[in-house]
Every structure is written in C-alpha cells, then in structure tokens.
A and B are shown apart, each in its own frame.
Chain A
Amino acid sequence: MLHIVNKSPFENTALASCLRVASKGGDNALLLIEDGVYAITKNSDAGKAVQAVMGGIKVYALMPDVEARGMQDRVLEGISMVDYAGFVDLVIEHNNVQSWL
C-alpha cells in the first residue's frame, strides 16, 4: 500500500499515525508531499521517527515540494526523490493508496 502524507509532522498527528500503522508489517511505502516533506529533515525530531521505520517502509519525497521549501540539502540519507511523473508511477505500482489528510 502507498501512504501519502501532506502535513508538517509538527502541525498534526498525520505522520505519526501513518507510521504507527504502516510500520506493523506488510508491504508499505510512504510518499511525502507538500508540508509533509519537512519530516525527512536531518537531525530533526520527525526525521528520527522516519529513520526508525525506514528498514520496513520505503520512503519517497516529491522533489518539487522539497526544493520549494529549500530543504534539498537537508534531507536524510536513503530517501528516494520523485518528480510528478514518479508520483504517478508510485500510484500505479501499488495496489491501493491512502492519503492521511
């Protein structure tokens, strides 16, 4: 399943709830978009939470949103960057999609 988070991890519990559920097994991927991309900042509280689940969940981020926010040089190792076409590919590749609004 593809999980999509678009809110800052400091603003609400969307990312925390997503990670809590998705880290319990199965074949899960996480795509961070919009303010959700702040979650993959190195040395941040949220970054540590993402890093902790990266063994079991493949994590992607939408590059246009990362660059807009000036965070491109502050991203954790091991995150895969995708463009809009890559976003579409991820949706197609996964059997279903959940947006954590």
Chain B
Amino acid sequence: MSEAAGDFDDEDGSGTIKKFMFLNRKAPYGTVYALEGLEVVLITAAFDQDVSMVFMDDGVYQLVKGQNTKAIAMKNFSPTYRALDGYDIEKLYVERDSLEMRGLSEDDLLVPVEVLSSAEMQVLMSDQDVVIAF
C-alpha cells in the first residue's frame, strides 16, 4: 500500500483528521442551503473531523434568537445549533462586519460564538485543509 493511501486507512480505522470549515452565507428559510449545510456538518462530525462553522453575510441570520416558524409551516431548525456541542462541534465563528451591517450584535444570537474581524477570518480560513461553502 502506498503511503498516500495509508493516510486514509490507519490500522485503527480512524484515518487522518483534517480541518474542515463550513462557511454559511445564506439566510435560514428563503433557500434550503442553511438546513442542508447543517446536515452535512453533522455528518462530517460523525467522522471525527476537526469542524469549524463560520457565519458571514446573511448566514448570521441562521443564529438569530426567537425564531418561530409555526405560521409558515416550515421546520424551525434553529434549536439544532444549540445541540452542536453534543456532537463536539464547538468552534462557531461570526464575522463582526456581517453582524453590524444587519443591526445585530452577539446578544441577538442563540449560541455562544467567537466574533472575528475580517482579518482574523482570513487567518482562520487560510489555516483550513478544506472549506465547504453553503
């Protein structure tokens, strides 16, 4: 077996851990991207990967407190973000400029996040092995 193939099939079956960033830039209900992205994040975490979730642009709306979808007959998936730490997904980042443009602050969000400047976001992104955008 080649060395490269070995990276994906260690003897204990755990494989290599890579840094995955999921970049969320869409509002929660107008399109299906946010919900589908969340599903993929949960699947990735099940493979014991190093997962970071980033919320930028309209993606910050996914984390707004007080969502109630009863009257539009869609699933309110916002409580799922609070369950992420149960899947060992603890790295949630929000870009400060995206919040401010939308008149929002950290207090408006339903989970604890780390608020980053765009410069800090650049460093975090560059440090990843894989970036997947929704």
On A, residues with C-beta under 8 Å from B are 6-8, 10-11, 34-35, 38, 41-45, 47, 63-65, 67-74, 83
Question: Given A7-B30, A35-B29, A65-B72, does the pair A70, B103 have CB atoms closer than 8 Å?
Answer: no
Give the chain A neighbours of B114 by CB distance below 8 A.
none
Question: Given A69-B61, A69-B67, does the pair A44, B103 have CB atoms closer than 8 Å?
Answer: yes
Looking at chain B, what size class is its interface with the partner chain? 20 to 34
Closest Cβ of chain B: how far from A86's Cβ, in Å?
12
Measured in the bound complex, the distance between the Cα atoms of B69 and A71 in whole Å is 12
Interface contact B78-A70, CB-CB below 8 Å: yes
Interface contact B74-A68, CB-CB below 8 Å: yes
Measured in the bound complex, the distance between the Cα atoms of B72 and A74 in whole Å is 19
Nearest-CB residue, chain A, relative to B60: A10
Give the chain A neighbours of B127 by CB distance below 8 A.
none
Give the chain B neighbours of A8 by CB distance below 8 A.
27, 30, 58, 61
Measured in the bound complex, the distance between the Cα atoms of B78 and A47 in whole Å is 24
